[in-house]
Every structure is written in C-alpha cells, then in structure tokens.
Structure 1
Amino acid sequence: MTTKKKFLTAVLIAVAILSAVGYGMFVRNRGVVTVQTGRAIRQDLTQTVSANGEIKPKKYVNVSSNMMGRIVRLPVKEGDRVREGSLLVQLESIQSEADVRSAEASFDAAQTELEGMSASIRSAEATVASAKAEITRSEADLARAKQNFSRAEQMTREGLIAKEQYDRAKADFDISSAQLNAAKARLAQAEAQEAQALTQRASTALRIAQQRAALTRARDQFSKTTIRSTLDGIITNLPVNEGEIAIVGIQNQPGTTLMTIADMSIITAEVKVDETDIVNVRLGQEARIKVDALGDRMLLGQVTEIGNSALARTTSSSIGTSGTGQEAKDFKVVITLDDPPPELRPGLSCTATIETATRQQIVTAPIQALTIREFDPADPIAQSTGAVAVTAPAARANKKKVEKEGVFVINNGVAFFRPVKTGITGTTDIEIVEGLTENDQIVTGPYQVLRTLADNARVKIQKVP
C-alpha cells in the first residue's frame, strides 16, 4: 500500500470517529435546556416603598389681602426672615382713614346729643316735681276756700254777713278750684315732656350703638390696610411689587397672593405613594430622602402623616375607546426630616424610600426565579398550601386547574418545580418562608426559558463570561 493510500485511509477513519462522537453528543444533549442559576442564601432583607414628591415646610402661610387697594409700601424682600407681628405690606389708606374720622365724628356727636337728652330729662323731672308740689298747694288752698265758702253760705242764710262777703268767699272757692285744675294740667304736660325726653334718649342710645358699630367697622377696614406677619419664618415667595393692586378673592376665584411665609424649623417631604404600596406604610417608619438638588446625599426622616383620601391621577397611556383616561390613585404621605440642611428650599423635587419591613438572617431567592405553573387538582403539587384554582379553557368540562407559585430547583442536571411560600420583598430578592433551604441551586433565567420550562426538564447551566 502506498503512502498516499495510507494517508487517505487515516483521514477517513478520523472523520468517521469525529462524526460518531458528534452524533453521540447531539443525541445526549437533545432536550437539554440552557439556564442561568443562582442559590438561595441567608441574609438580612429590607422591604421598601419608593415615592416621588417635593420638599415642603411643615407650617407655611400664603399672605393675601382682605381688601382691595394699591400697595404703597413693601418693606420686605424674598428670603428675608420675619418675626410675628412684623410689617409686611402697607396698602393705600386714604379712604379708609377718612371713614374712620367720619365715624368718630358721628359717634362723638351722638354722645353729645345723649348728654343733652340726659339734661332735658333732669329738667323734665324737676318740672314734674314742681307741678306735683303746686298741686299739693292748690289742693290746700281749695280746701281752705271751700271751708270759708261753706261758712259764708251758712252765715248768709242766718243774715249775719252781707251779700258782698258771700260773693267774695264764693269767688275765692272758684279760683282755688281753677288753680288746682291748672296745676294738674301742668303736671300732665310735664310728665308727657319727661316721657318724650326718655324716648328720645332711648333713640339716641340706639343711634350711638349704630355709630359705635360703624366706627368699629371703619377701624377694622383701616386696620386691613396694614398687613403683618402671623408667624416667625422666611419669605419664600414674593410675586408682587410696590404700586400693584391687591385683589380680594371672591367665591371660586382666588385673590392676589402677596407672599408666602414658611416656618423652616420643621421641614417635610410630601410624596405620593401608589395605592398598591400604601397598605404597607405605617406612622413612625424610617425613610431615606434623596433630593435632586443635593446629588447623592441622603437625608433621614420618619413618616408622620398618611392621607386617608386618594389623589387621582390620569395616565395618558391608558386612554380607552370612551376617550377618558384610567385613574391611577396615589395617597399623600408626609415624612418629617430629622436634621434638614439649611440649603433646602420649598418645592425641591425628592424621592423617598420608606422602610416598611425588615427581616434578619432569612432564606431569600432572586425575585426573577419565581414563576407560576398550573396543575391538575389531583397532582400532589396542586394539593399543597397556597394553591389558587383557575378555570381550565376546555369547555366540555367544569374541571379547574390550580395555580401554584414556586421555583425550579436543580438536582443532578434536572430542574424540579418546587412550590414556595413567600414573605417580604426586597430590591432584588424575596423572602422564602417555606419550600427552600439555604444553598439550594435554582433557575433564575433567562426569562423566556423560565416561562416555558417544564417540570423534570434536563438543564445545562450557562457559563457566566
């Protein structure tokens, strides 16, 4: 045999051997799925809720005017610190000051009139007393005249006195009687004048009350031209200037906001928490706040307020055929900062991370390892705890399949589905309460493979580059 034939024979034998080896490897690896894996480990786990919002002072006030007027003095500027009672704005007060002076003059005039009424009443009382005294005197004169007239009449019948004396006694009696009637008339007139004076005094007193109310109202209007601070704080917003007109709000139309004063001693982060996370938020929970303006600096705080009413927000990506957006609801949560830095300003954007639960040294697994499978009710896996029954798509039978949450555990190159019971969820890992032990090797991906991976499937671990 020549050398050339020997070489060709060796090549053919080598090709046959390689083909046999390749075919054997193909047959052996047929049906084997390449997967990514991880291990169940024991570690500390913290569950958090993240929400966006803005920095706000705990206490602030929007200063507005209670009357319309031109701003004639503005002694403060944005960023100034003010004390309670400090002058903030002076409005034009010519009209209101004139109204106060007019009301004061009317009130003084009414008081003077009341004093005059009091003097008239005292004079009327004296006149009534004098009239009563005159009546008493007239009654005494009448009694004496009547007695003289009776005596003269008796003596005239007996012929003891002359007719002239009788006539004089009768005239005295008639005069005394007329004087008594006149005194009674004067008493009635004096009493009527006294009653009139009392009525006039009561009317004047009512008018004084009206003038006093008008004076109070005028002074109140005048006081509204001077606006002072109601708290100690910093002026964080000042949108007006001297010479502008302050407008009063009416019904649903707000008035002019002259400035905003914030008490920066207590600063909060007001965030909006999604409705799916709000059930885990509690008062007193610790939170970390990241303010965009401060870079990576983290601030600490505690949850001090949780809203009870939902704040609706419309998502533009979920507009249906009806033309209205689907409402996604948020809840307001207020976090009070423990040690706020002085450079914080109201309105700065922030992100809060609230720690809602913490576990120490628990068994955890990567979140992406969790998957759901459906089983027949007779399957032992479906009879384990935590199964959820779902209706099977077959229309001919009313049988129900059972959904089960679990992971795929690898043992000797085979992936077995194992139901698990989960607890709190961290950023990348989830607590495994039941179903796994520490160091169990589990399938973590790829996602498309994990969706379709069957129980008892042969797997090959993908090498990490």
Structure 2
Amino acid sequence: MKKNKKKIYIIGGALVLLIIIISANMFREDDNSIEVEVEEVQRGTVIHKVNASGKIQPIKEIKISSTTSAWVTKITVKEGDRVKVGQLLITLDEKQHLAATEQAQSSVNSAEASLKQVGAQKKRMESLFKQKLISQQELESITAKHELAVNQLRQAKAALSSREDELSKLKMTAPSIGTVTRINIEVGEMAVGSMFQAATLMTIADLAKLEVQVDVNENDVVSISLGDTTEIEVDAFQDTMFYGVVSEIAHVAETSNFGTQEQVTNFKIKVRMLDVHPKFRPGMSANTNIITDVREDVLTIPIQSLTVRPEGYDKESGKKKGDEKEGDEDKDKKYRSGKEKKKMVELVFIVQDKPSGDKEVKGNKKGLFAIAKPVKVGISSETHYEILNGLNEGEKVVNGSYKAISRDLNHNSPVRLDED
C-alpha cells in the first residue's frame, strides 16, 4: 500500500513538472519580444568638446647661449632662482679677449697717429701747390695717402668695436624677468658657441604665464577657433579643474608614422592657461577639453540610442524568429560584405503601444513595439546628441541594450521594458 502511494506521488510530481515546462515553452513561443531600456526625448544643453592631451610649457622661454668659445669661470644663479633684466648670470674667461681688445685699441692709436701725420703733410703740400712750387701729380699723391689713412682708422675702430662686443658678451645677463629652469654647464667647462650654432648654457622661463601645447587630429581641428574656452586637467592635480583659452592654431600639419597604416596627421594647438598654480612646472602632463560649440534648449537623445541601418531598413516589419528564411543576421552580413550595397541612414527606435502601418504583429504579451525613425543630428556631447529633426519632445527612445539597438531591433519589433 505504501509503495503504491509513493509511486502515485512520483508520477504526480513528474506530471506537474512536465506541465510547468510545457507552459513555460508555450509562453516563450507566444512572447517573442526583445527586452529594451528607454529614455524620454528631453530638452537640454549640448556642449561639444574636442579632447586632446599634451604638456604644460611656458609661453615665453629664453635660451642663453654664447657666440664664442671660452671657459666658464663663474655662474651666479642656480635652478629655480628668479632673475630680473640685466642680472649677471654667467661669466666666461676674458684673458684672450682682453688681449685681443688691447691689440685692437693699439691698432686704432697707430691709425690715428698715421692719419695725423699724413694730414699735416697734406696741408703743407696744398700750400706749396698754391704757390706753384709742386706739381698737380704730387698733390694728388698726398691726397690719396690721406684718404688711405682715413680708411685704415675706420677699419681699426671697427675691429676694436667688434672686440669690445665680444668681450662684453663674456658676461651674460638676463634679457628678461623669469625663473632659471635649467643650467646645462658647470664652472670649469668649455662653453662652445659660434654665431650660427651655439650650445644652450641656461634656460629662463616666465612661469607666471603658461600654456598647454596639444596635438589635435585633422578631423577635429576644423571645429576649433581662437578664443575657445578650454577645460584643463593636470595629472599632478587630481580632481581640480583649470581653465584656459585657445591662443594659437598651427597652419601646418605634423605627420607621424608617414607611409604606414599608423600614419597620423595632427595640428599643434596652444591653450593659454588662465589659472596658473604656483606649483606648475614645465613638462607636466595635461588633458584638455576644448569647448567648440554650445547649444541650449535643444532636443537631446543619449549617444547610444543612435544607430545606422541600410536605406529602407526602417520599412521592415517585426517578425518572429524563424518566420523568414533569411534572418536579420544574414541580412546584416550581406550588407556588410558589400553584396547588397545600400545607403546607410541614421535612425533611432522609439517605443509605442501599437505597430506602425496596417500590418498585424503577433507575439507580444506587453503590447509594445519599437518603431524605426530616421533622424538628423547636430553636435554631440560626451553623453548626448542634439536632434535637429525627426523626433518630438516626450517620445521614448530605446537606449539599451547595445546588442538590441545595433542588431536585434527592426521596424515594428515587439519589445518589453527592462523592469530594473
């Protein structure tokens, strides 16, 4: 008797489980809807930004170098010192240049004495010529000697001026106020320099006026204008926002990895910083967001809501999986492979309680449908697009999941809302 009851319980439990499984399958077959997330089309502000990273650099930076080669005898400043105009920075060995200057001065003295002597001779010869005691030829000869002496004096004075200039440059002074940011030489080392190629001995920069130099892609640079407000984030100052304005846009591109698949064409942009922290240092890494456009009180949708389909895709009616021999995935592959080329259009899916058109769409317990609507977008922010036309305020657009938007949804597809 007990065994029979046990069998009855087992058979009954199995029947209940079978009924549950069959009911679940029937429900699944009847509900072919796709789970989606929605957001209402609202009015708001869209701010378009161009992001670029770079380094902080001083707006004004002066490199101190020598035009002549000499030994360094004195350095009067150290890195980090503030200097003013005319302050002595570096002194070079003067011995050879002092000797050369004295020699040039001696040449000037000799030329002056020679000119004085020839001048006296010329006066006597002119007097004798008036008395007709010498010939015209003799007068012309002494005149030529006088002109030669004058020119020799000029040459000697020019050489002296050059030597004095070289001597004065052995004492290098600050041409502008600023901070000594780098010293590249030590006392006792040779400062190698010439008029056309001189080594940098010291660098002075005005750290009160800084800029961020960034590289912007050629596709983004066309939207940037001088004076655009810029948000600046410095890596060394976390959670602190600084601001600046675009002060310079390069007219010539800089190309890297030329001739390869990684070739990149950028333009150098300079952003003058409005807030300069006293602890900023040249070379610090910074990230900029250049605000190129602001649209207020416009219709907006989430960025992820916008998708593309081949032209005419929005006319496809939602169907159950397996109702047609060629599925959406096969169509997508055909479109992407180029076998069936069509113009791509930008669109969004809105959710409403009835399908578009006269066709009856089955398999939806919730009574909601995704309707494809082509749209025209304007600028974009980090999270939203501006809608120029195609949508009305208050309509509910699908903003998730990514798989649903990019692949699963068709025009009139049955959908259900994500309850979470």
TM interval, shorter chain, is: 0.7 to 0.9
Deviation at 1:262, TM superposition (A): 0.9
- Whole-angstrom CA distance in 1 between matches of 2:83 and 2:314: 76
> Which of the numbers 182, 199, 210 marks the counterpart of 1:237?
182
> Which of the numbers 396, 400, 404 marks the counterpart of 2:345?
404
Deviation at 1:305, TM superposition (A): 1.4
Structure exhibiting the larger radius of gyration computed from Cα positions: 1
Deviation at 1:435, TM superposition (A): 1.8
> Which of the numbers 314, 325, 330 marks the counterpart of 2:266?
330
The runs of 5 or more residues in structure 2 that have no matched partner are: 318-334, 354-367
Please say if residues 372 and 412 of structure 2, whose CA atoms lie closer than 8 Å, have aligned partners that are also in contact. Answer: yes
CA 1:211/1:250 → structure 2, altered by over 3 Å: closer, same or farther? closer
**Secondary structure at 1:309's aligned position in 2?**
coil
**1:44 corresponds to which letter in structure 2?**
T
**1:46 corresponds to which letter in structure 2?**
I
Deviation at 1:120, TM superposition (A): 1.6
Please say if residues 315 and 411 of structure 2, whose CA atoms lie closer than 8 Å, have aligned partners that are also in contact. Answer: no
2:23 aligns with: 21
Given the two structures, how large is their TM-score scaled by the length of structure 1? 0.75
Deviation at 1:32, TM superposition (A): 2.4
**1:263 corresponds to which letter in structure 2?**
D
- Whole-angstrom CA distance in 2 between matches of 1:337 and 1:15: 72
- Whole-angstrom CA distance in 2 between matches of 1:16 and 1:210: 118
1:118 aligns with: 119
Per-residue deviation, residues 163-213 of structure 1 (Å, max 9, x unmatched): xxxxxxxxxxxxxxxxxxxxxxxx246x55443322221121121122122
Per-residue deviation, residues 19-69 of structure 1 (Å, max 9, x unmatched): 55324312212x322333333232222111111111112111111111111
The runs of 5 or more residues in structure 1 that have no matched partner are: 133-186, 316-321, 382-389
1:424 aligns with: 379
CA 1:53/1:249 → structure 2, altered by over 3 Å: closer, same or farther? farther
Please say if residues 314 and 372 of structure 2, whose CA atoms lie closer than 8 Å, have aligned partners that are also in contact. Answer: no
1:94 aligns with: 95
CA 1:22/1:377 → structure 2, altered by over 3 Å: closer, same or farther? closer
Please say if residues 72 and 190 of structure 2, whose CA atoms lie closer than 8 Å, have aligned partners that are also in contact. Answer: yes
CA 1:103/1:380 → structure 2, altered by over 3 Å: closer, same or farther? same
- Whole-angstrom CA distance in 1 between matches of 2:236 and 2:10: 77
Deviation at 1:276, TM superposition (A): 1.7
Deviation at 1:376, TM superposition (A): 4.3
1:103 aligns with: 104
CA 1:19/1:242 → structure 2, altered by over 3 Å: closer, same or farther? closer
**Structure with greater proportional helix content:** 1
CA 1:10/1:198 → structure 2, altered by over 3 Å: closer, same or farther? closer
Deviation at 1:103, TM superposition (A): 0.9
Please say if residues 377 and 401 of structure 1, whose CA atoms lie closer than 8 Å, have aligned partners that are also in contact. Answer: no
- Whole-angstrom CA distance in 2 between matches of 1:22 and 1:391: 37
1:198 aligns with: 143
- Whole-angstrom CA distance in 2 between matches of 1:302 and 1:6: 84
Q: Point out 4+ residue stretches in structure 1 off by more than 4 angstroms.
A: 2-17, 376-381, 390-395
Please say if residues 316 and 411 of structure 2, whose CA atoms lie closer than 8 Å, have aligned partners that are also in contact. Answer: no
**Secondary structure at 2:230's aligned position in 1?**
strand
CA 1:234/1:447 → structure 2, altered by over 3 Å: closer, same or farther? same
**Secondary structure at 1:78's aligned position in 2?**
coil
1:460 aligns with: 416
* 1:224 pairs with 2:165: no
Please say if residues 377 and 402 of structure 1, whose CA atoms lie closer than 8 Å, have aligned partners that are also in contact. Answer: no
- Whole-angstrom CA distance in 1 between matches of 2:64 and 2:186: 14
**2:415 corresponds to which letter in structure 1?**
V
- Whole-angstrom CA distance in 2 between matches of 1:423 and 1:58: 35
